[in-house]
Amino acid sequence: MARPFDVTAVEAKWQTRWFDEGTYEVDNDDPRERFFALCMYPYPSGAAHMGHVRNYTFGDLVVRYQTMRGKAVLSPIGFDSFGLPAENAAIKAGSHPRPFTDERMKELSSSLSRLGAVYDHRREVFSHDPAYMKWSQAIFLAFWKAGLAYRAEAPVNWCPGCATVLANEQVHPDGTCDRSGDLVIRKNLEQWFFRITDYAEELLNDLDALDWPERVKTMQRNWIGRSEGVEFDLPLAFDTRRALRVFTTRPDTGFGVTYAVIAPEHPLLEELTTDEEREQVNELVTRAKSASELERTASSDAGIGLEKRGAFTGSFVINPFTKDQVPVYVADYVLGTYGTGAIMAVPAEDERDFAFATAYGLPIVRTIEPPDGFEGGAYSGDGVHINSGFLDGLDVPTAKAKAAEYLAGHANGVTKVNYRLRDWLVSRQRFWGCPIPIVYCDTHGIVPVPEDQLPIVAPDDVTMVKSGQSPLATHEGFRNTTCPVCGGPARREADTMDTFTDSSWYYLRFADPFTPGVAFDPVQAAKWMPVDQYIGGIEHAILHLLYARFYLKALVDIGMAPGLPREPFRRLFTQGMIRLDGTKMSKSKGNQIAPEKYYETVGADSLRLFHLFAGPPADDVDWTDQTEEIIDGCARFLDRVYRLSDYDEVNFHETSDDGDLEIRKAVHRAIATVTDCFERWGYNIAVADLMQLFNTVSKAARADHGIERATLDEAIDTMVKLLAPMAPHVTAEIWERRLPDEPSVHQQPWPIADPELVMQDTVTMVVQINGKVRSRIEIALNTSEAEAEALALSDRTIVEALGGASVKRVVARPPRLVNIIV
RNA sequence: GCGGGCGUGGCGGAAUUGGCAGACGCGCUGGUUUUAGGUACCAGUUCUUCGGAGUGUGGGUUCGAGUCCCUCCGCCCGCACCA
């Protein structure tokens, strides 16, 4: 395609200038209003892919737009540079992950520059930088000292493919690993945890005030999984001084408890199991323990309760409502890690209990009258209580309160809130992560590494193997150390931290990487925090976004971030993904379209414009046969703007006339609509509005009648400014050619619409007959209803169309329309 | 199964509060320029039996519905034994 300018040269020229001149460097004491714009910490996987391009196009637009709005914009970049892909590649190549990672970082960095994205490069951060690791480790130790980090043995998720344990958040519902797709198995291991559950309530409540997509907030709410209920005792039939403690959200259904169920891991199981039942109980427990999560949940995948697996323990407990003895079963549908690990079962009002009761022939007693015509097993809705003694006749909420009161007096009942959220498992048996700064001494046990010895950096002379433990575990030079307390022989922790710890506080380092001796100075960081606009993919809806929220709250509480807000990201935007042939475009699927080729042909500006124009930013984009042509169309539009700005084929007239006034109005209306679109993420519409404005201006300027020079000057200068955040290179070039003595377009203030020109004094009012458009009348904006009605009824076209029909009613809604009903 | 979102030309998509459906772009058709192709520019492009009809289907509210309510169909996303 023949272009009116040398795209490659122009883009390179401006990229160099922005970088060399530090155009987007910003100081912490900048007096302007502040704006913190941030794209999610990218994993350096090499040159930017199309998803990056989309993400960083939006991010860069925000940075440039807010800058033109007169704000001091903090635009940092860094790299989430620890992680498995680099380690796996190093194992394969028999090398070290560091050079591999450094290379990928360089590639990503340069391809972001090539896109035209601008940053304060002085603030660059990457996870494996010892200067950053030092503080990642210091935060770990601060958590430990505050009791937020602890070591415990627990059944954990082990991924054979990744050869490490995983957090609950990294395991899919079907029991496979988030990263490798391998089936995760259960193992009992001693591991490090962060006490994120201490913050469950706050993490849940604070979501309400965040300007985040509702979808993301819902996902987090579900993940945290708050449920309110009552914990109480079911006395053991053979020894009523002791009891099985259970948790329920439905105390009101207590009269319908016909059995109890305990988890295979429950500590009382052994005691409750009678000799006659021992064999089948053991069989069930063995199976449940060895089963993977997938196998354990498989029965429900086939349809609710098709195959509840359980066994009678031989023991009974007493229902505190009915005083009846009910059997205790062990079943794998009750989880040892939630609530008390035991439940009261109410088959009539709980689907899972119903399925189990049906399979094992247990009695079902309804305690709530289902609605007429109700078909099916369990009824969990509201209704009138029956068969429920003192609860009979009550609705569910009332009965709940009354039952809870009863349990408090008769069964040690206490109201309780349970969460689905578990503590965050942070140990990883891998090499390429931030080492956990802990030493184990035979005398002093767990000893933190003193801060002046941080960072603990993994050695370079390791043999990278995939063995189920980090190469650090067998590296004698690293492993053997001395106890910081007694100086005796000690061993270093060989595990590294989950890489999500690195991305949980990087935004604070961005805000202040300058103050020596601290991770960040809270006073400096407070100048920028919280992030005003965070941009990233929906795939981080739970993991990263929950962890980062926890980190900041914890840092504030333990005194590392006093005075900072408790939420890191005020506004979140999640952009859609790019799909090719119906699936997400990704490296692992091998269906990527590389951006480089577009840089070389149409240029970065055109590719950016395409991503902005393709559709609503939050929606997925399908890469199709048509895409190339749309990108060409975007390039064509930029070329037209360039040519018009050169006054190519333009006719001028001397003094301004009505035509010029119309152009000025169109220009100012576009300022208003484009600005509005920028504020509400309607970039696709902003591009459309600019194209429309261009068409109007271009047509007028090239017509024989021509245009006044001042009108065209204003139109073009404004268009270039409005386009500048979208297509930064070509607009900078046009601006410089037109106004070589002025500061760059990117330093210009964002245009402000003149209300006089935006306001239309006359508008086209539609006249309908029976809801069908029959005529259009130009009217004044402030026309009254009566005037509008009179104008409509006397309009020649309308009189003809009516043909003397009797008018039943007239609905006048000036200035939009009049509807005549006949 | 539960929760949420979405169905508009050949295609991507516009249409703040119910008020001119299809902005803008792609593609397509015709034309001007050009040795030709490409580029550039101009005109047209929902369907139509030219009365009208039309925003997945059927109903409802309203003077008026793409927009609000109900039914069904289809697609996408999240959750899925958490008591």
Q: What is the pLDDT of residues A550-604, one digit of tens each?
A: 999 999 999 999 999 999 999 999 998 888 877 778 776 777 888 999 999 999 9
Considering only residues A23 and A336, tell me which one the structure prediction assigns the higher pLDDT. A23
Chain A 377-416 residues in 7 Å CB range of strand B: none
CA A736, CA A749: separation in Å to the nearest integer? 16
Distance of C1' in B67 from CA in A642, Å: 39
| Tokens at A628, concatenated | 């190339």
| Tokens at A112, concatenated | 């972001």
Which residue is it, tokens 């190093």?
A90
Q: Looking at the C1' of nucleotide B14, which residue has the nearest alpha carbon?
A: A685
Collapsing DSSP to helix, strand or coil, A107 comes out as helix
Strand ranges for A195-352 from DSSP E: 226-236, 239-248, 259-262, 310-318, 325-331, 342-345
Distance of C1' in B15 from CA in A778, Å: 21
A286 burial via Cβ count (<10 Å: 0-12, 13-18, 19+)? exposed
DSSP state letter for A276 = G
CATH 1.10.730.10 fits A596-757, yes or no: yes
Q: Is the CB of residue A201 inside 7 Å of nucleic acid strand B?
A: no
Q: Looking at the C1' of nucleotide B83, which residue has the nearest alpha carbon?
A: A248
pLDDT tens-digit map of A66-117: 999 999 999 999 999 999 888 888 888 888 999 999 999 999 999 999 999 9
The proportion of chain A whose per-residue pLDDT surpasses 90, expressed as a percent, equals 66
Say what the pTM is. Answer: 0.93
Which residues fall within 8 angstroms of residue A465, CB to CB, at 6 or more apart? A91, A471
pLDDT tens-digit map of A625-680: 889 999 999 999 999 999 999 998 888 998 888 889 999 999 999 999 999 999 99
DSSP state letter for A385 = B
Nearest nt to A622, CA vs C1'?
A: B12
Distance of C1' in B19 from CA in A291, Å: 63
| CA A762 vs CA A669, A757, A759, A779, A814: distances in Å | 15, 12, 9, 5, 11
DSSP state letter for A166 = E
A291 band by pLDDT with thresholds 50, 70 and 90: low
CA A259, CA A318: separation in Å to the nearest integer? 9
Predicted pLDDT at A243: 95
Nearest nt to A820, CA vs C1'?
A: B63
Considering only residues A815 and A528, tell me which one the structure prediction assigns the higher pLDDT. A528
Nearest nt to A215, CA vs C1'?
A: B4
Distance of C1' in B61 from CA in A774, Å: 25
Distance of C1' in B65 from CA in A62, Å: 36
pLDDT at A808 over 50: yes
Nearest nt to A541, CA vs C1'?
A: B78
A302 band by pLDDT with thresholds 50, 70 and 90: very low
DSSP state letter for A453 = G
Which of A121, A42, A50 has the alpha carbon at shortest distance from A82?
A42
CA A648, CA A660: separation in Å to the nearest integer? 18
- Cis peptide bond upstream of A370, omega within 30: no
Q: Is the CB of residue A809 inside 7 Å of nucleic acid strand B?
A: yes
Nearest nt to A694, CA vs C1'?
A: B24
A317 band by pLDDT with thresholds 50, 70 and 90: very high
Q: Is the CB of residue A651 inside 7 Å of nucleic acid strand B?
A: no
pLDDT tens-digit map of A263-280: 998 999 999 999 999 999
β-strand A533-537 against A572-575: which pairing, if any? parallel
Chain A 230-259 residues in 7 Å CB range of strand B: 247-250
Q: Is the CB of residue A760 inside 7 Å of nucleic acid strand B?
A: no
A756 burial via Cβ count (<10 Å: 0-12, 13-18, 19+)? exposed
Which residue is it, tokens 């016909």?
A258
The mean pLDDT of A332-344, rounded to a whole number, is: 90
Q: Looking at the C1' of nucleotide B27, which residue has the nearest alpha carbon?
A: A626
| Tokens at A544, concatenated | 């990263």
The mean pLDDT of A441-468, rounded to a whole number, is: 89
CATH, domain range A32-136+500-580? 3.40.50.620
The proportion of chain A whose per-residue pLDDT surpasses 70, expressed as a percent, equals 96
The mean pLDDT of A690-697, rounded to a whole number, is: 95
Q: Looking at the C1' of nucleotide B78, which residue has the nearest alpha carbon?
A: A219
A694 band by pLDDT with thresholds 50, 70 and 90: very high
Is residue A604 within 8 Å of residue A610, measured between CB atoms? no
Is residue A329 within 8 Å of residue A311, measured between CB atoms? yes
pLDDT at A486 over 80: yes
Q: Looking at the C1' of nucleotide B10, which residue has the nearest alpha carbon?
A: A626
Q: Which fold has domain A760-821?
A: Ubiquitin-like (UB roll) (3.10.20)
Which of A62, A1, A77, A71 has the alpha carbon at shortest distance from A726?
A62
Distance of C1' in B19 from CA in A577, Å: 36
The mean pLDDT of A6-26, rounded to a whole number, is: 96
Average pLDDT, chain A: 90
Nucleotides of B under 7 A from a protein CB: 1, 3-4, 10-16, 19-21, 23-27, 38-42, 53, 63-65, 77-83
β-strand A424-425 against A185-194: which pairing, if any? antiparallel
pLDDT tens-digit map of A716-773: 999 999 999 999 999 999 999 999 999 999 999 999 999 989 887 777 788 888 887 8
Chain A 330-349 residues in 7 Å CB range of strand B: 332-335, 338-339, 341, 343-344
Phi, psi of A150 (to 5 degrees): -145, 160
Nearest nt to A422, CA vs C1'?
A: B82
Cα angle at A155 between A152 and A159, to 5 degrees?
A: 115
Q: Is the CB of residue A816 inside 7 Å of nucleic acid strand B?
A: yes
Phi, psi of A74 (to 5 degrees): -90, 115
pLDDT at A299 over 60: no
Query: Hey, do A596-757 and A760-821 end up sharing a CATH topology, with the first three levels equal?
Result: no
ipTM of this predicted structure: 0.94
Chain A 602-641 residues in 7 Å CB range of strand B: 613-616, 619, 621-622, 624, 626, 629-630, 632-634, 636-637, 639-640
Predicted pLDDT at A468: 67
Chain A 679-738 residues in 7 Å CB range of strand B: 680, 682, 684-685, 687-688, 691-692, 695, 698-699, 702
DSSP state letter for A43 = -
Amino acid found at A168: N
Nearest nt to A649, CA vs C1'?
A: B41
pLDDT at A293 over 50: no
Strand ranges for A346-477 from DSSP E: 414-419, 424-425, 427-428, 434-435, 438-441, 445-448
Is residue A101 within 8 Å of residue A81, measured between CB atoms? yes
Which residue is it, tokens 């601290």?
A518
Q: Is the CB of residue A2 inside 7 Å of nucleic acid strand B?
A: yes
Nearest nt to A765, CA vs C1'?
A: B20
The mean pLDDT of A605-628, rounded to a whole number, is: 92
Domain boundaries, chain A: 32-136+500-580, 226-419, 596-757, 760-821
The torsion angle over the Cα atoms of residues A622, A628, A634 and A639, rounded to 10 degrees, is: 170
Nearest nt to A246, CA vs C1'?
A: B83
H or E element in which residue A525 lies: helix A522-526
Q: Quickly count: other Cβ atoms within 10 Å of residue A687's Cβ.
A: 22
Distance of C1' in B75 from CA in A346, Å: 37
The mean pLDDT of A514-541, rounded to a whole number, is: 95
A736: left (phi over 0), alpha (psi -120 to 50) or beta: alpha
Distance of C1' in B19 from CA in A579, Å: 38
Amino acid found at A54: R
pLDDT tens-digit map of A488-510: 999 999 999 999 999 999 999 99
- Cis peptide bond upstream of A530, omega within 30: yes
CA A511, CA A530: separation in Å to the nearest integer? 10
Side-chain-side CA neighbours of A362 within 13 Å: the count stands at 26
Predicted pLDDT at A391: 95
Is residue A696 within 8 Å of residue A666, measured between CB atoms? yes
Nearest nt to A635, CA vs C1'?
A: B25
Q: Which fold has domain A226-419?
A: Isoleucyl-tRNA Synthetase; domain 2 (3.90.740)
Nearest nt to A631, CA vs C1'?
A: B26
Nearest nt to A764, CA vs C1'?
A: B20
CA A152, CA A188: separation in Å to the nearest integer? 10
Q: Is the CB of residue A299 inside 7 Å of nucleic acid strand B?
A: yes
The mean pLDDT of A407-416, rounded to a whole number, is: 94
**Residues linked to residue A152 through DSSP beta bridges, in sequence order:** A191
Is residue A630 within 8 Å of residue A613, measured between CB atoms? yes
**Residues linked to residue A575 through DSSP beta bridges, in sequence order:** A537
| Tokens at A30, concatenated | 């900048």
Is residue A603 within 8 Å of residue A114, measured between CB atoms? no
The mean pLDDT of A509-535, rounded to a whole number, is: 97
Predicted pLDDT at A168: 72
Nearest nt to A300, CA vs C1'?
A: B81
Q: Is the CB of residue A358 inside 7 Å of nucleic acid strand B?
A: no
Distance of C1' in B24 from CA in A683, Å: 12
A303 band by pLDDT with thresholds 50, 70 and 90: very low
pLDDT at A174 over 70: no
Q: Helix axis angle, A84-93 relative to A97-115, nearest 10°?
A: 130
Q: Is the CB of residue A171 inside 7 Å of nucleic acid strand B?
A: no
Which residue is it, tokens 């912490």?
A28
Predicted pLDDT at A305: 36
Predicted pLDDT at A778: 80
Which of A266, A342, A354 has the alpha carbon at shortest distance from A308?
A354
Phi, psi of A702 (to 5 degrees): -95, -10
Which of A337, A377, A339, A381 has the alpha carbon at shortest distance from A356?
A377
